[in-house]
Structure formats: C-alpha cells, structure tokens
Amino acid sequence: MLFSMDFACYGSDKTQEYMKLVIGIVDEAGRANVSDLFPVLSFLDLQGVRARMRGYLRKLYKSFDDIMEERLRFRSLNKESKDYNDVLDSFLDLMQDGTSQLSRDDILHLFIDLFLAGVDTTSSTLEWAMAELMRNPKKMVKARTELQQVLDKSTLKLEESMVSKLPFLQAVIKETLRLHPPVPFLIPHKAICDVELCGFLVPKNSQILANVWAMGRDPSIWENPNSFIPERFLENEIDFKANDFNFIPFGAGRRMCPGLPLASRILSFMLASLLYHFDWKVPDGLKAEDMDMSQRYGLTMHKAQPLRAIPVKM
C-alpha cells in the first residue's frame, strides 16, 4: 500500500532485514530505561538504548530513501506512466507540485511512523485472533459458517467489500483487541495543567499512560472478562469510537489512532482470508486448550511463544 512492494517474501534477505529492524525498534522503545526514571542521566545513555535505536532508525531511513530515489528516477523516465498509484506517489505529487511544505525528509520520517505503527500492531493482533479461534474451535466454525453464507456463490471469491457483512468476524477482532490490545498502555499523554481525576491529583507535566489491557479485563466492566466471547460485541453496540470509554484499543478523542479505519478493515479481511482458504490445526499432537497464551510485555504486546499453526487446504 505504501510502496507497491511485497514485504512478505520470507526467503528474501531484504524482508528479513525489515523484520529485524521493526522488532529491534519496538523492543528498544519498550525497554525499561533508567533514563526515563532519571532524565538528568539521559545524556549518558547508560544502557545503550538510544544508540541502538538510532542505528535501527538510520538503517530504516536509508532503506526508505533508496525506495524514494528509485521511484523518482522511474517517474522522470516514465512521465506518462500510471504504473504506481500508492501512498508514496501521492506524497511525491504533493512535494513536486509546490503546493505543500512537506520536504523529502518530512515524508521519509512520516513513512517510518506509518510503517512501524502499522506492521507490528497488525501482525500481532492477527496472531492473537488466530490463537484464540484455535483455542475455541466452535467460534472458528461459527466465523467460517458466516463467511460461507455471505460469499458470492457465483464466483466463490472473497472480496474486501464483504467485510461489512461479517458482524461475527468483526466481533472476533474486537474481542481480540479487548483481551490483547497491541499497545497495552496506548501512547503517552502529558497533563498540561494540574487536574483532579477520581479524587487523585495529576500534577502538571505528568506523563499519563492509559492501561487498556487492564480495562479490557476489568470485571466491573466486562462479564467473564478473561474468556474469549465475541458474542458480547453482537449483544451490545460497542464500537471503536470510545463513546463510553469501556473499549479504547485505538485511544479516544482528537489524538486517537488515525489508522483505525484501515486497521479494522484490513484485519477483518486478512482473518477472513485465512479462515476461508484453510482449515487450521495445532502441531505435534498438542491439544488446542493447552496452547501457551502467555504474553510478552513491551511497547507492544506479543505472544511469548509465537503461534504455530498448520494450514489444511479446504
């Protein structure tokens, strides 16, 4: 979508490099750092976090800069061609027509933000959704049955436009995000003045973290909070807009995640594709209910043990 490139060729050294860069950046961003507790020591970089992060970001920046340079050469040689119509082309059009103040450096940093924010969170959520469905085979059957009912019987082809007709599948995504929010503490906010919340004084300039992981498992909000029950989102019209603030995996208000519309649609379509094209089973004779569902905490929340699932052609 960003560059008209396939980043999922697992035999490619370039793909592996991108994966290592993303994992490295996310791990360093979520690492406990003494400089966060004692800012006066930050210039020392005692744990080397800043140096490693700078190295990862420099490599990612250089890689995206090479992609942009190659595209600019292509555009200069093929001025009438419309082979690409992606996000990069859109920003290059803005940069070159003189109506925008965006510089090349601005665009490259924006792509880093988009790439990091979209890749790791989406893949981890999809992994959790598949893991929960495999542990709850009746839910998987229910989702697949819904797919078969909605599918165009004449073409037997799954289209992205069908996502809106799959309420149970969308409920599966919401329930996954409730139990396993990809960013468990959301993005930090800062109090711009002294404010009292629920009897507690939050001093000016305090950093505030919203623990959406704890909210999603709060028994005062959710019935059977630790159980995977997508039906709860069919019984109550709870969406991502955070109207009652019970369910805010994308944040809320003016600062909520701008990728919400894309993420919710793409997640649903990817999960639908996996369920439609394959049946799934756990490997090595492992019982589904015995799957390891422990979590590895950081800036983003991954399964401690990556999901292993065997696809069986339908």
Q: Hey, what's the torsion of the CAs at 10, 266, 278, 288, to 10 degrees? A: 90
Share of the chain above pLDDT 90, in %: 44
Same domain, yes or no: 84 and 149 = no
Contact 189, 255 (CB under 8 A): yes
- Predicted confidence at residue 97, as pLDDT, reads 81
Residue 275, in any domain of the structure: yes
For the segment 179-208, the average pLDDT, to the nearest whole number, is: 91
The range of the structural domain enclosing residue 279 comes to 120-314
The H-assigned helical ranges of the chain are 13-29, 34-37, 49-77, 87-97, 104-135, 137-150, 167-179, 212-216, 232-235, 260-277
Contact 209, 274 (CB under 8 A): no
Flag whether pLDDT at 161 surpasses 80.
yes
Question: Over pLDDT 70: what percentage of the chain?
Answer: 96
77-128 pLDDT, tens digit each: 887 666 778 999 999 988 888 777 889 999 999 999 988 888 889 999 999 9
3-state helix, strand, coil in the chain (%, to 5): 55, 5, 40
Give the SS3 label for residue 9: coil
> Does 297 lie in the same domain as 155?
yes
State both tokens at 206.
Answer: 């305090």
311 neighbors 278 (Cβ within 8 angstroms)? yes
In a domain, 59, yes or no: yes
Where do we find the tokens 């959520």? 125
Question: Do 148 and 277 fall within a single domain?
Answer: yes
**Are residues 257 and 187 both part of a single domain?**
yes
What contacts 25, CB < 8 A, 6 or more positions away? Answer: 53, 56, 57, 60, 116
Q: Which two tokens stand for residue 229?
A: 């029950």
pTM value? Answer: 0.87
CA 89 to chain centre: 23
147 and 92 co-located in one domain: no
With beta carbons less than 8 A apart as the criterion, state whether 120 and 167 touch: no
27: pLDDT confidence band, cut at 50, 70 and 90? confident
Give the chain's domain count.
Answer: 2
**Cα separations in angstroms, 124 against 27, 115, 117, 295, 307:** 14, 14, 12, 11, 10
- Residue 183 shares a structural domain with residue 92: no
Examine the domain organization and report whether 212 and 299 are in the same domain: yes
Task: Give 38-88 pLDDT, tens digit per residue.
Answer: 888 888 888 999 999 999 999 999 999 999 999 999 988 887 666 778 999
DSSP label of 53: H
| 125 shares a domain with 38 | no
Q: What angle do CA 235, 236, 241 make, to 5 degrees?
A: 145
**How many Cβ atoms sit within 10 Å of the Cβ of residue 314?**
9
Per-residue pLDDT at 231: 95
Q: How far is CA 215 from CA 65, 118, 231, in A?
A: 40, 23, 18
Integer Cα distance of 184 and 97 in angstroms: 41
Residue from 34, 96, 121, 20 nearest 63 by CA: 20
| Calpha distance 40→146 (Å, rounded) | 57
| Residues making up the chain, counted from first to last | 314
Which of 59, 75, 102 is the C-terminal boundary of a domain? 102
